[in-house]
Structures are given as structure tokens and as C-alpha cells.
């Protein structure tokens, strides 16, 4: 479970980039975080993962505060950043072993996990090459495998579908669905509204640092009393806020 | 062509220097901070200039006393030639071939010669900043002390602009030729490493020949007697050195102008040849480097592939792998630790120990007091000098670029990660330390206990430098770069190891002069080691207490 409580953040004095954000992503749900460019999606994700300091409020991952118990909180999630260009001079296997060592995964389990994940994403045969030689999609797959290696209860993914081929994108979505069936949480940001519409149990729309809608797609349609697609509703919500 | 070259030069140059200020900070605080940074940099440059100035002033006065002041011009220009030649090897190979921006530039409708010209311009501009300190200050002081006319200062500017071009072109040409073989190689990494080392060996060999004098004892005696005769010895050391010296010295006005003219014409001709070679060879190497051909799928050795390791081993291992596999980082951060001590010590002592000018000089027997306080501190100053060129710690955060945020979301305490990131710097500085000590011992045969104490003090100095340097990088990390070249070459942070190193040398020398009469040299070296240890603990403690604040700029 991820709980965001009264969180605010300013880059420039007097101008809040995130304004009093309150959000709870419950166990067993896939939550899509939507918003136009520069709305505050990445800032929020960076605060959840401890990359950015929080000015006001706090964030809890499975009850552990990211500000007060950062190391314990960080053990509770796997994070996929928006750019997959991670340590390109390392071989795929070296990168995954590096992460496995960081999360203290024992030999037997790591072999099983790495094989399972990389074979699913069809990159097992490339693991002995430097990641620099991988395509964008392959890099993305290795980074996803790395984030899921220690089987964290909470997945936090920033634009995870970017660069994935249709099969891998489909597999990742399946993995998300399977993951929440065991009572876990998936929180991801996306620009692809179609994915959010089909995959997410709930969505949150952020605009200019403020959360302008949280709920299911059905709730959104009821609220605006219009039987429109998520794309149309999204545009309407974000444009009204302009 | 000119237009495209200028635009490209501007883009490559700006791209390398962008993000000197953190883009995301507020305007007000940015202005305040950048103002104070500018003041700090000005202060740093004045300090550097001051040291060079004091040194030049002393040397010129000594040479004037024996009527050999023109020797100074020769020495400074030769130093510039050697320095630029070696520096450009590192920079040229990086900027021309290993730079990330090639991926964006090569597909554009620009001729290879234009790319080469633009990149060479960037190399030159970068070298001019060094020439400004290494050349402008000493030569201006020379002008003042010899009461030179205005013509000297005009000639000086022409020489300082034209003279460094040929060393840049020689190194870059060598790089163009060697790298054009890249397309024949299958293993890109190995080729890059071998090519780099090969070029380095050639340039070092060139520098050795430039330093090698073939003057006979009789000629030498005549030179010493004749006013400004000694400078003759240096004329042949570098193709345009004679022209540059004559362009600066006023035998006759016509002669001075003629030499300046010859210098400019020779430089222009070599530049035209260089650009023509660039047009023919550049793409062969650049494309060979970008597209390494078919990717080999090497099978995993399953028995070894999934082995657990300790956090320390895995983290430090990752740091070393990235340092060694990236040719730019390898050349600028790791190799100087090995090459500089060897090059400088061998160059200095080779001439003195061997048979030169018919006089046999044995450095071992020349140094009579083997436990002199000055000798010990002198060795430590040499070690400190070499330390200034080891940038592993000073670029530890910047090298990761945007990946640096990784440090913040993994469940490993930030202080622990700093210790791991600093460790490769400690390893390499210690290695350099031992290398220097071994060479010194071979040449000077010092008592082993004294040597051991100097080694310990040197290692402590390296540890201290490693922690201070990472603070510099954390405070002003350069995370958004398109070329690794920008991290190690066009990074103002790297001036701090130099400034602090020179400051340390100054303090050590002053202290030694003050205490040398009443303190035992063994005890003094011990005290230095303890002071470094204490300072390291202070600095580490500061980092530990301020980790969150220090990591604020990484997001």
C-alpha cells in the first residue's frame, strides 16, 4: 500500500509544483497516474521513491515513512524509472546481479528469478552482452526485470510501456494483473490513456500539481455525466483546469 | 563551410559547458550562487596565476643574471607544446570518436571535414584556457622584467594563438590515422583500448625525443658563454619552436615579423593538410566506432553467472567496471594515476642519471642527506602534484549522469554508497603513491623506515583528497551531459583538486621552512600523516552529517 499524505513540493519559492497531494493506493489494485506534461507526475513519483525531498507531508510505503525510515521503505518497492539507460557499460547479467546483491537475494533464488523474468521478456540470450548494445526496448526490459527481481510488494513504474514491443507490453500488463491478485500494489504513470482505461482499477489525474480526479473510469463517467472515452474525459478535465 | 563549422563548434562547445549551473534551481538563488561561484573561481585562478607568476619571476631573474633570459621563452613554449600534445591525445580521441554526440551529428548533412574542423576548434578553445595560464602569465612577466616594447606583447599574443595549434593538430592527426582502422575490428572495446594505449605510447615517445638534446660539450660551452646562447639548444625540439622564439625576440624588426609570418603560414599549411586528411579518414573511424557490426551473443556461463557477492564487492566492482570499460573515463580518471608519475619521474631523472652533455651525474650519490626533512616533504609534494590529476572521486557522481538518482532509491544508506564510490579513488591514489615511492627508492635509496612513513603520509593525503573531491562533485554535479568528454574535460569542478593540491603544497613548504631547524624529519612526516588522518575524519563526518543536503541536487 502506498499512502501520500498532505504532500507539497516547490522548486521555486512561492510556487508549488505539488500542492497538498493526498492519495492512497490500496493493496490489490493497479493505479494509473495521468496528467499532461509538466503536471507533476514524475515529481510525485520521485518523492514516493525518495529521489526528491518532500517539503510538507509524508509518504508511506506499507506503513514505512520514506522520510523517517527511508531504507526500510525503499526495501518495499521496485522502481522502473522513465529512462532505461542504466549503467550501459555493464552487461545485462552484471546489472541484474548487482541489484540482486543490493537486495540480498540468495544464489538459488536469484538464478530462478533472473531466468524466469528474462526468459519471459526474451532477453535471456542477450544477458552476457553490454547493455549499450541493446535496443531501447531491451534496456527497458532489463530495467523492469531488475525492479521485479526481489519480488517487491509495491511496483512503481514511470512510463513503463515506452519502447516495449507489443508482446512484452502485453506480458507486462499480465504480470501487473497477476501481481495484484496476491494483494500487492502497482502504481504507474502513463501517457497512453488506452492502457490506463483497460488496465487500471483506478486512475488519478494530476494537473498543475493538484489532483483533479481520483476514481474508477465508471466513476469518472458518472461524475461528468457523459459517456465519453477516457481520452475525451481526460482532455475535458485537464482543459477545464487551464 | 565556414558557417557550418562555426555553428557546429558553437553547438558542441555549448553542449559541453551547459548545465554548469543546476538548471532546476530558482532564479534568485541561482544568481546569488553563480555570483559567489564566479568570485570563487576568480580567486582560484588568481591563486594559480600567482604561483606560476612567482615561479616565473624567480626563474627569469636567475636567467637574466647569467645573460640567458631567452632560454625562458624556449622552456615555456616547449612546456606548452608537450603539455598540449599529451592533453590533446586524451581529448581528441574522446571528442572525435567516443563522444555521444556523434550519434546526432553523423546523420546530419555535414561534411566529415566540417565535423573535424568544428571538433578541433573545440579542442583548441579548451587548450587555450590552459595556455592562458601556462603561457600568458609567464610571458607577460618576461616582458615586464626585460622591459619589452609594445611590439613584444603583440607578438606574444600572436605566438600564443598560433603556436598551440600544431601540437593539437599532430595529436589529432595521429588519432585520425589510428582510429581509421576501427572498421576492421570486431571487438570494439579491445580496439579502443589498444588504439588509445598505442597513441599514448607514440606521443610519449615524441615528447621524449623533444626533450633529448644532442649537444656536444664544446657546443654547450660556447652556448653558455654567448648571450642567450642556451636557447639554441631548444630550437630544434619542436617544428615551430624556433619561429616562435624568434618571433618574440627582437634581433631586428624584419626578422621578428618574418618569423611570425612563417609561424602563421606553417600553421595554416598544416591545418589545411589536417582537414584534408580528416575529410578522407574521419568517417571510417567514427562509423566504425558507432556501429560495431553484428552483436555477438555470448552464452552465459551458468555456473558462475548467478553468484552472490557482498554489497561492498558488488558496488565497488560496478564502479571499476564502468571506469575501465569507458575509454574516456579510463583515460582521464585511471591512466593518469599510472602514467604521470612514470612520465615525469623518468623524464626528470633520465636526463640527470644518464650521460648527458658528456657529464656523468649520479643522482643517488648527489643526495647526501637521505633523511632530510626537505627531501621527505619534497616527495610528498610530488605525490600531491600527481594526486591533482586523479579525478575518480571528483567525477564519481557526474560520471553516472542521470543514473545518479539510482543512489537515492535503492535501500543502501547514502553514506555507505559514498564510501564505495570514493574507494576506487583511494585504490588508484595508493597505487600511484607506491609507484612513485618505488621509483624514488630506486633512484635515491632512502632508509626504509623514512620511506615507509612518507608512503603512509602520502596514502593519507590520497584518502583525504578522495573525500574532499566527492564533496565538490556532490555540490555541483554535472548530470546532464551528451558526451563523457564534458564530464572529465569541460568540468570546472576539476579545478578544485588542483587549487587544493597547490594550497596543500604551499602550506607544506611554508611549514617545513618554519620548523625545519628544530624538528626531527621522521616526527614531522608522522605529524603530517596524523594531520591528514584527522582532516579525513573531519571531512567524512561532515559528509555523514549533511548527506541529505549534499544529495539535494541529484534528482
Element holding A187 (H helix, E strand) = strand A185-189
A46 with A159, same domain: the answer is: yes
Give the rounded distance of the alpha carbon of B553 from its chain centre.
27
Per the domain annotation, does A41 fall within a domain?
A: yes
Joined grid coordinates for residue B252: 631586428
Per the domain annotation, does A124 fall within a domain?
A: yes
Are B412 and A71 within 8 A, CB to CB?
yes
For residue B20, give the nearest of B497, B513, B491 by alpha carbon. Answer: B491
Per the domain annotation, does A72 fall within a domain?
A: no
Are A93 and B548 within 8 A, CB to CB?
no
Determine contact, residues B180/B285, Cβ cutoff 8 Å: yes
Per the domain annotation, does A31 fall within a domain?
A: yes
Are A97 and B24 within 8 A, CB to CB?
no
* Domain limit, last residue, from A152, A171, A190: A152
Polymer length of chain A: 242
Find the residue in B nearest to A93 (Cα).
Answer: B305
| Model pLDDT, residue A205 | 92
| Model pLDDT, residue B229 | 66
A240 with A158, same domain: the answer is: yes
Q: Which of residues 12-41 of A touch B (CB under 8 A)?
A: 12-13
CA distance B338 to chain A (A): 23
A172 with A148, same domain: the answer is: no
Find the farthest-apart pair of alpha carbons in chain B and give their distance in angstroms, rounded.
79
CA distance B197 to B16: 25
A162 with A239, same domain: the answer is: yes
Classify B334 as helix, strand or coil: helix
* Domain limit, last residue, from A152, A169, A199: A152
Q: How many CB atoms lie within 10 A of CB A119?
A: 11
Residue A82 sits at the chain B interface (C-beta within 8 Å): no
Residue A192 sits at the chain B interface (C-beta within 8 Å): no
CA distance B399 to A85: 13
| Model pLDDT, residue B31 | 65
For residue B340, give the nearest of B86, B78, B81, B85 by alpha carbon. Answer: B86
A161 with A232, same domain: the answer is: yes
Classify A204 as helix, strand or coil: strand
Residue keyed to cell 609534494: B381
Q: Are strands A29-34 and A185-189 parallel, antiparallel or unpaired?
A: parallel
Q: What is the pLDDT along chain B (555 residues), one digit of tens a residue?
A: 557 888 888 888 877 665 444 444 445 555 666 677 778 777 777 887 888 888 889 889 888 888 888 888 888 998 898 888 888 887 788 788 877 778 788 888 888 889 999 999 999 998 898 888 888 999 999 999 988 888 899 999 999 999 999 999 998 998 888 888 776 666 666 676 777 777 777 777 776 666 555 556 666 666 666 666 666 766 777 788 888 888 888 678 888 889 999 999 999 999 999 999 988 888 877 776 554 544 556 777 777 888 889 999 999 999 999 998 887 788 888 888 887 777 777 666 655 544 444 444 555 666 667 778 899 999 999 999 999 889 899 999 999 988 899 999 999 999 999 999 999 999 999 999 999 998 888 888 889 999 999 999 999 999 999 999 999 999 989 888 767 777 877 788 888 888 889 899 999 999 999 988 888 999 999 999 999 999 999 999 999 999 999 999 888
Domain total in chain A: 2
A110 with A173, same domain: the answer is: no
| Model pLDDT, residue B69 | 85
Read off φ and ψ for residue A6, nearest 5 degrees: 45, 45
CA distance A34 to chain B (A): 21
Chosen from B407, B409, B417 to mutate, greatest number of chain A CBs within 10 A: B409
Classify B186 as helix, strand or coil: coil
Residue keyed to cell 518523492: A47
For residue B241, give the nearest of B354, B333, B347, B164 by alpha carbon. Answer: B164
| Model pLDDT, residue B512 | 92
The neighbouring-strand residues paired with A78 are A155
CA distance B67 to B5: 46
Quote the domain boundaries for residue A146: 77-152
A33 with A95, same domain: the answer is: no
| Domain spans in chain B, listed from the N-terminal domain onward | 1-17+30-293, 309-555
pTM: 0.80
Nearest-CB residue to A50 (from B25, B325, B409): B409
- Share in percent of chain B as helix, strand, coil (round to 5): 80, 0, 20
Are B295 and A129 within 8 A, CB to CB?
yes
Please write the tens of the pLDDT for every residue from A85-112: 888 889 999 999 999 999 999 988 999 9
Q: What is the value of ipTM here, to two decimals?
A: 0.90
* Domain limit, last residue, from A128, A152, A176: A152
CA distance A161 to chain B (A): 19
| Model pLDDT, residue B49 | 82
A130 with A167, same domain: the answer is: no
Residue A90 sits at the chain B interface (C-beta within 8 Å): yes
Rg, C-alpha atoms of chain B: 25
Find the residue in A nearest to B403 (Cα).
Answer: A86
Work out the percent of chain A whose per-residue pLDDT is above 70: 98
Burial status of residue B520 (CB atoms within 10 A of its CB: 0-12, 13-18, 19 or more) = exposed
Element holding A217 (H helix, E strand) = helix A217-224
Helix A230-240 vs helix A217-224: angle between axes, to the nearest 10 degrees? 60
Helices (H), B479-546: 484-488, 495-515, 521-545
Amino acid at each position: 500500500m502506498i499512502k501520500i499524505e498532505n504532500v507539497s513540493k516547490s522548486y521555486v519559492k512561492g510556487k508549488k509544483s505539488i500542492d497538498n497531494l493526498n492519495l492512497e493506493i490500496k493493496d490489490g489494485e493497479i493505479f494509473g497516474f495521468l496528467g499532461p506534461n509538466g503536471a507533476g507526475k514524475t515529481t510525485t513519483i520521485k518523492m514516493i521513491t525518495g529521489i526528491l525531498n518532500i517539503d510538507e507531508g509524508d509518504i508511506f510505503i506499507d506503513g514505512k515513512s520514506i522520510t523517517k525510515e527511508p531504507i526500510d521503505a525503499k526495501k518495499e518497492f521496485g522502481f522502473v524509472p522513465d529512462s532505461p539507460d542504466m549503467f550501459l557499460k555493464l552487461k545485462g547479467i552484471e546489472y541484474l546481479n548487482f541489484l540482486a546483491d543490493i537486495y540480498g537475494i540468495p544464489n538459488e533464488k536469484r538464478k530462478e528469478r533472473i531466468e524466469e523474468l528474462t526468459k519471459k521478456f526474451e532477453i535471456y540470450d542477450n544477458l552476457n552482452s553490454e547493455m549499450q548494445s541493446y535496443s531501447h526496448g531491451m534496456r527497458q526490459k532489463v530495467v523492469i526485470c531488475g525492479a521485479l527481481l526481489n519480488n517487491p510488494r509495491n511496483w512503481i513504474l514511470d512510463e513503463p510501456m515506452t519502447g516495449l514491443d507489443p508482446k512484452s507490453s502485453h506480458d507486462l500488463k499480465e504480470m501487473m494483473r497477476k501481481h495484484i491478485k496476491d494483494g500487492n500494489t502497482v502504481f504507474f504513470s502513463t501517457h497512453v490513456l488506452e492502457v490506463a482505461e483497460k488496465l487500471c482499477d483506478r486512475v488519478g489525474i494530476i494537473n498543475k500539481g493538484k489532483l483533479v480526479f481520483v476514481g474508477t473510469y465508471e466513476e469518472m463517467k458518472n461524475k461528468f455525466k457523459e459517456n465519453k472515452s477516457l481520452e475525451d474525459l481526460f482532455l475535458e478535465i485537464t482543459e477545464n483546469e487551464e | 563551410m565556414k558557417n557550418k563549422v562555426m555553428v557546429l563548434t558553437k553547438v558542441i562547445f555549448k553542449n559541453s559547458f551547459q548545465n554548469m549551473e543546476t538548471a532546476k534551481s530558482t532564479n534568485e538563488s541561482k544568481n546569488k550562487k553563480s555570483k559567489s561561484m564566479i568570485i570563487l573561481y576568480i580567486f582560484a585562478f588568481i591563486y594559480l596565476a600567482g604561483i606560476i607568476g612567482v615561479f616565473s619571476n624567480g626563474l627569469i631573474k636567475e636567467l637574466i643574471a647569467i645573460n640567458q633570459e631567452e632560454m625562458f621563452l624556449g622552456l615555456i613554449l616547449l612546456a606548452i607544446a608537450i603539455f598540449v600534445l599529451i592533453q590533446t591525445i586524451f581529448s581528441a580521441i574522446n571528442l572525435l570518436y567516443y563522444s555521444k554526440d556523434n550519434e546526432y551529428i553523423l546523420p546530419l548533412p555535414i561534411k566529415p571535414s566540417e565535423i573535424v574542423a568544428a571538433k578541433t576548434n573545440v579542442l583548441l578553445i579548451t587548450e587555450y584556457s590552459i595556455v592562458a595560464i601556462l603561457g600568458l602569465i609567464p610571458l607577460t612577466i618576461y616582458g615586464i622584467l626585460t622591459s619589452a616594447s609594445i611590439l613584444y606583447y603583440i607578438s606574444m599574443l600572436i605566438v600564443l594563438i598560433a603556436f598551440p595549434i600544431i601540437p593539437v593538430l599532430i595529436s589529432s592527426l595521429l588519432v585520425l590515422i589510428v582510429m581509421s582502422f576501427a572498421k576492421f575490428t570486431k571487438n570494439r572495446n579491445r580496439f579502443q583500448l589498444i588504439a588509445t594505449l598505442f597513441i599514448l605510447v607514440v606521443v610519449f615517445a615524441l615528447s621524449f625525443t623533444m626533450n633529448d638534446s644532442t649537444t656536444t660539450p664544446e657546443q654547450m660551452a660556447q652556448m653558455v658563454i654567448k648571450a642567450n646562447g642556451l636557447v639554441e639548444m631548444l630550437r630544434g625540439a619542436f617544428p615551430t619552436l624556433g619561429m616562435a622564439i624568434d618571433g618574440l625576440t627582437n634581433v631586428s624588426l624584419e626578422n621578428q615579423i618574418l618569423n611570425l609570418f612563417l609561424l602563421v603560414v606553417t600553421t595554416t599549411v598544416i591545418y589545411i593538410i589536417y582537414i584534408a586528411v580528416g575529410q578522407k579518414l574521419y568517417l571510417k573511424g567514427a562509423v566504425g566506432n558507432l556501429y560495431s557490426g553484428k552483436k555477438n551473443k555470448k552464452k552465459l556461463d551458468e555456473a558462475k553467472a548467478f553468484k552472490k557477492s557482498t554489497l561492498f564487492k558488488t558496488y565497488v566492482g560496478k564502479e571499476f567496471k564502468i571506469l575501465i570499460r569507458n575509454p574516456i573515463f579510463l583515460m582521464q580518471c585511471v591512466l593518469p594515476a599510472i602514467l604521470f608519475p612514470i612520465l615525469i619521474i623518468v623524464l626528470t631523472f633520465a636526463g640527470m642519471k644518464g650521460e648527458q652533455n658528456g657529464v656523468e651525474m649520479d643522482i643517488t650519490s648527489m643526495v647526501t642527506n637521505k633523511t632530510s626533512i626537505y627531501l621527505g616533504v619534497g616527495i610528498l609534494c610530488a605525490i600531491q602534484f600527481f594526486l591533482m590529476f586523479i579525478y575518480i572521486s571528483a567525477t564519481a557522481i557526474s560520471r553516472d549522469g542521470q543514473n545518479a538518482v539510482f543512489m537515492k532509491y535503492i535501500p543502501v544508506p547514502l553514506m555507505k554508497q559514498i564510501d564505495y564510490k570514493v574507494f576506487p579513488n583511494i585504490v588508484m591514489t595508493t597505487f600511484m603513491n607506491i609507484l612513485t615511492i618505488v621509483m624514488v627508492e630506486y633512484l635515491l635509496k632512502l632508509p626504509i623506515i623514512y620511506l615507509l612513513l612518507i608512503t603512509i603520509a602520502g596514502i593519507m593525503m590520497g584518502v583525504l583528497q578522495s573525500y574532499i573531491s566527492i564533496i565538490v562533485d556532490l555540490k555541483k554535479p554535472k548530470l546532464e551531459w551528451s558526451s563523457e568528454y564534458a564530464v572529465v574535460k569541460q568540468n570546472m569542478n576539476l579545478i578544485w583538486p588542483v587549487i587544493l593540491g597547490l594550497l596543500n603544497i604551499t602550506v607544506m613548504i611554508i611549514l617545513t621552512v618554519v620548523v625545519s631547524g628544530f624538528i626531527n624529519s621522521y616526527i614531522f612526516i608522522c605529524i603530517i600523516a596524523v594531520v591528514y588522518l584527522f582532516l579525513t575524519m573531519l571531512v567524512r563526518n561532515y559528509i555523514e552529517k549533511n548527506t541529505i543536503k549534499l544529495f539535494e541536487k541529484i534528482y
